[in-house]
Structure 1
């Protein structure tokens, strides 16, 4: 009991129900709609007033990372909450508690009900709300799902995940070698059922090696650096199925065992030459090696090999986004811009499937206490000023910031091309590759006229004067005005943005309809259209969104230059600087992004801005600045009840491997921050001492 109490800190967020048990009822009703790993675990407490035993209140919160291997491991968590209420000045006491943890394998909600004093009942609830008996096999599935969910719902350090759901406690589910063994053992037993959990939104069809289980395993190994454990696991699984070789190779590459990884991929592809994940893994590896090549000749050779693998993977899995995206990335690296754009246009796009979120009724009250240990003046400034800031509407309307899944990946490839060749050149390549609207209409008009019989006065007399709209050009004047307007250079507020808006491409549906309507005779005259492709609507939309990003970015940089020339201060609110930093980073202007993030931090604390600055410190190998940023982000996370962020832990691990644990601890100690903040950071670094990671014995 003492160890559990130490693990789970006493300060707990509480959301108060309007009606008793409505949170549990809402969770039960939502079970049939869950499609992913399920929402975070729900903990519900029934509290009774110490003055009036008839007055009862229901409070709840969500949590991830609690050991869900059995009812015996969940009941102590409820006990820590219940016994925390039993102080001499307590106004209420806990009379019952329920812990709900979703089993995504069997689509059941596992529940542990604790009544005080002393009874514990465990059962599960199906999608219809019926009770079932909880077995050891179901608990094994539930435990594995809970660990994967902890990684899936973990924050990346910027606070983006934390702000999506109010009052979620996040704990690290694997903190020592004993719990790692339990996790990997469960993963081994259930590995070939992993496809039942679904997959990331960029994967069309979950497979044995592309699903939420394998994503979680690779995330764990990348966070902790426990590559030897991963290699042992995948070596055993490869004896049962050769396709696991792709995962084994990925872990070998992570652990710098490149020669063995290449050998395993080569041998495995002899047995399954059309395994698209193996081919994609090869292409990814060769692409990274090409980017690190010493000479242009070596780079070219490696890119040619990557091209062969990527091209073959699209043949093996033509309906998967990742294969086409990898091929487009290879073409970008080869500076074959037309093929890159054509390949990007071929990517199959999927609707983004977000994580399962709790669907709860509006709580009557929120109690979100702040621990004294997280008091830090600069972090306190965030809450004081965040909601009083003015934001330019043009910054709030940037659609690219909301992209997720395949659209975010495709947009990243498009911005990479723009960063390398510029917007004007990208538009030229676009018009070379795709049929533009004005071009299509000109060709269609010429083809229609050529297909018509020669008019004579007698024919006109017989048929009557032709209706101008029957030639398929109805509304052409309006369309011409739209094209002319689209091609102009926008100059908001009298400032020339210097970014030309892309003109529209031809509508694929309209081209198809015209082909059917005019027959094959007109096709003979569409010479240009026969050598070009139709731009998919989603890619056409991406160009428009990219134009908006570039327009806002260009205005910002132009105004900044003008203010500097006049030795005037360029003023923006903290949130505006935060948005501009994200915009610059999205467009791959990293120095400008860091400049905006620093301007934001000079006004108030922002985890988004500080996480952006941290990425720059990591690249520059600036150890002291990295540690300083980490300490503040760890403290902000703790204030939001989070003791777990894989990205921050990975950064700490790399620091320890590069500099040694003793040096990192010394830097933490000398940063001049309050002792509780120092202790929090030491707590995060202690994980790698438990794992005996590289650098911890120095």
Structure 2
């Protein structure tokens, strides 16, 4: 398999500053840790007086021993790009998230090897076999966590990261699953996805990584075998086993397992959620509803249970209950992945792997020093594009409702279930003196678990978003998009600041209404802004077509408009924008969006054409491994057979070196004996 090129980030004045910065950051790490750091010291071959530090980051390297990490450092001693310098030493740093230690291997070339670990205080400790086992498992999980989905978003976040596939054969898989089995019940120490408030046995980064591995590779038998063994030690693992059985199309067995497990632990929310998801997938709304309600009762402070209940109400088209449930979701501050905090480098060298060179990708790309694409301010200020974690999932639910019933109907239902500011003010003025509006909080009965952190998210306030009426090309307000009226924020009412009188009353007009959480009010305003810009875009497009004029946007603007349409569930319009972007220059995000169109049409030839370009682009930026792209190749092989897939790839009129990169993904499927790989 062709290895990606090696990016080089130089420190010519202050050697080891990057290693020191990593040491200082250890006490702040809360997740799986940053990618591994590889630091080399170079000096001219003709002189020993002047040395320079060169580093890059990497994921997916076997970190099961000091020898395997030293072997990686040794592969870097010869550089075809720099024949005047030699590597005299190297340090490999790999984070152990279980024990919160940074495992390090120092290599002197030629000569000695020293391995040790650094704790959060910067002190040296002995690296034991048990610590290496933990480090190896963390390394595999990080490789999946930091992998790119094909859109290039993860690649752009950190400069100069080489991404390798951590599990390339069945022997390495056995090693990975064996480590996962030994350390499984320590998994909660690794934190969890941002939608989970409290990591537990079945919701943490270890279980997420295991499920992603099984889903990506289709190694269902290995996953079932692992979770069967673990289930004998803790019945809660049944929810993970049931999910793998469902993936493997063993649905009868999965249903029986869920039934039996719920006899033992009837209020396990993970099992109930799994049951609700299965009923949802079968269109059994009423059954899913009962399971989702029980899951909320079992875990009222978890976002996932409330979100599932809201999803079920959306599926059943009970829009008012969906909104009320969404309003009750506990929202958590988004915790991003641990990223390296490095000092300013002297220079950065980003070489191109010759095997990944493809004219279609390189043509039209902005050169260094070229001005950036012009992007209209109104497109830059679309805050929904930056949502993550619970806020992203809540926004997706809100946009689903809006797409199903329309904006006007959504506003009508909103005013029917939530107390609006205007009616509250009117009612308060008419209320007899001495009866405070502050007690409306009792009528609102806001669900438990709403976090105060929700209001601290980096969102625009309602007034700031609402006051922004900037529109592209000077058009007025978007046609037929009514600005949402402000609701009464629960924080304002519950504070009682308007009226300090302690007597209690409930307005009859509000007895069936709730107070809208501020974060949800913000989502309505952000959705309004999305819809407004989308409507202006479509109106402008129609006007230009009527006049037989070309509608011009920059590539970045088309990319943003494609994302906007996709967020609002306007699939055809999203594809149109992505195609306009690709007509100007290659964009992995736009190509990934267009790939969804080919998936929808079951167009195998076009899918493979898009995948070849995405895989080549990934290699261009030092990534030989994308789980999502591997999954798509595997699924095509399952449906069409490996011979047909390879034949279509080979028949593509592109350089052989580029085609070989895709063949490597196909070979991986053959190595794991994926369905269809022998046909």
Say yes or no: TM over 0.5: yes
Residue 74 (structure 1) aligned with residue 74 (structure 2): no
Aligned counterparts of 1:320 and 1:436: Cα–Cα separation in 2:
28
Aligned counterparts of 1:181 and 1:98: Cα–Cα separation in 2:
28
Aligned counterparts of 1:270 and 1:326: Cα–Cα separation in 2:
22
Shift of 1:288: 1.1
Shift of 1:451: 5.5
The answer (yes or no) to whether the contact 2:227–2:240 under 8 Å persists in 1 is yes
Shift of 1:520: 6.1
Residue 479 of structure 1 is matched in structure 2 by none
Residue 222 of structure 1 is matched in structure 2 by 215
Residue 644 (structure 1) aligned with residue 625 (structure 2): yes
Aligned counterparts of 2:228 and 2:57: Cα–Cα separation in 1:
36
TM-score, normalising length from structure 2?
A: 0.93
Residue 428 of structure 1 is matched in structure 2 by 412
Aligned counterparts of 1:564 and 1:245: Cα–Cα separation in 2:
57
Aligned counterparts of 1:489 and 1:183: Cα–Cα separation in 2:
53
Residue 367 of structure 1 is matched in structure 2 by 349
The answer (yes or no) to whether the contact 2:434–2:503 under 8 Å persists in 1 is no
Residue 108 and residue 312 in structure 1: after superposition, are their counterparts in 2 closer, same or farther (change >3 A)?
Answer: same
Aligned counterparts of 2:248 and 2:134: Cα–Cα separation in 1:
29
Residue 239 of structure 1 is matched in structure 2 by 232
SS of residue matched to 1:81: coil
- Divergent runs of 4+, >3 A: 6-9, 385-388, 448-452, 485-492, 513-522
Residue 398 (structure 1) aligned with residue 382 (structure 2): yes
Residue 546 (structure 1) aligned with residue 540 (structure 2): no
Q: 1:95 aligns with which of 67, 70, 88?
A: 88
Q: 2:29 aligns with which of 31, 34, 51?
A: 34
Residue 311 of structure 1 is matched in structure 2 by 293
The answer (yes or no) to whether the contact 1:486–1:502 under 8 Å persists in 2 is no
SS of residue matched to 1:161: helix
Q: 1:557 aligns with which of 529, 538, 547?
A: 538
Aligned counterparts of 2:631 and 2:586: Cα–Cα separation in 1:
23
The answer (yes or no) to whether the contact 2:364–2:584 under 8 Å persists in 1 is no
Shift of 1:67: 0.5
Residue 440 of structure 1 is matched in structure 2 by 424
Residue 678 of structure 2 is matched in structure 1 by 697
Shift of 1:517: 3.5
Aligned counterparts of 2:471 and 2:129: Cα–Cα separation in 1:
65
Aligned counterparts of 1:565 and 1:353: Cα–Cα separation in 2:
48
Q: What is the 5 A alignment of 1:245-264?
A: 245-264=238-257
Q: 2:44 aligns with which of 49, 57, 60?
A: 49
Which structure has the greater CA radius of gyration?
1
Shift of 1:495: 5.8
The answer (yes or no) to whether the contact 1:487–1:503 under 8 Å persists in 2 is no
Unaligned runs of at least 5 residues, structure 2: 437-462
Q: 1:581 aligns with which of 562, 577, 593?
A: 562
Residue 189 of structure 2 is matched in structure 1 by 196
The answer (yes or no) to whether the contact 2:491–2:518 under 8 Å persists in 1 is no
The answer (yes or no) to whether the contact 1:332–1:417 under 8 Å persists in 2 is yes
Shift of 1:671: 1.1
* Aligned residue pairs, count: 648
Residue 109 of structure 2 is matched in structure 1 by 116
Q: What is the 5 A alignment of 1:283-682?
A: 283-290=276-283, 302-384=284-366, 387-449=371-433, 493-494=475-476, 496-514=478-496, 517=499, 519=501, 521=503, 523-524=505-506, 526-682=507-663
Residue 513 and residue 689 in structure 1: after superposition, are their counterparts in 2 closer, same or farther (change >3 A)?
Answer: closer
Residue 126 (structure 1) aligned with residue 107 (structure 2): no
SS of residue matched to 2:94: strand
SS of residue matched to 1:82: coil
Residue 19 (structure 1) aligned with residue 1 (structure 2): no
Aligned counterparts of 1:513 and 1:75: Cα–Cα separation in 2:
60
Q: CA RMSD in A?
A: 2.0
Residue 142 of structure 1 is matched in structure 2 by 135
Shift of 1:685: 1.2
Shift of 1:562: 1.4
Residue 457 of structure 2 is matched in structure 1 by none
The answer (yes or no) to whether the contact 2:378–2:471 under 8 Å persists in 1 is no
The answer (yes or no) to whether the contact 1:103–1:138 under 8 Å persists in 2 is yes
Which digits, 9 at most, give the CA deviation of each residue in 1:554-577, with x for residues without a partner?
001111111112222211111111
Unaligned runs of at least 5 residues, structure 1: 1-5, 291-301, 453-481
Which digits, 9 at most, give the CA deviation of each residue in 1:188-244, with x for residues without a partner?
000000000000000000001000000000000110000000000000000000000
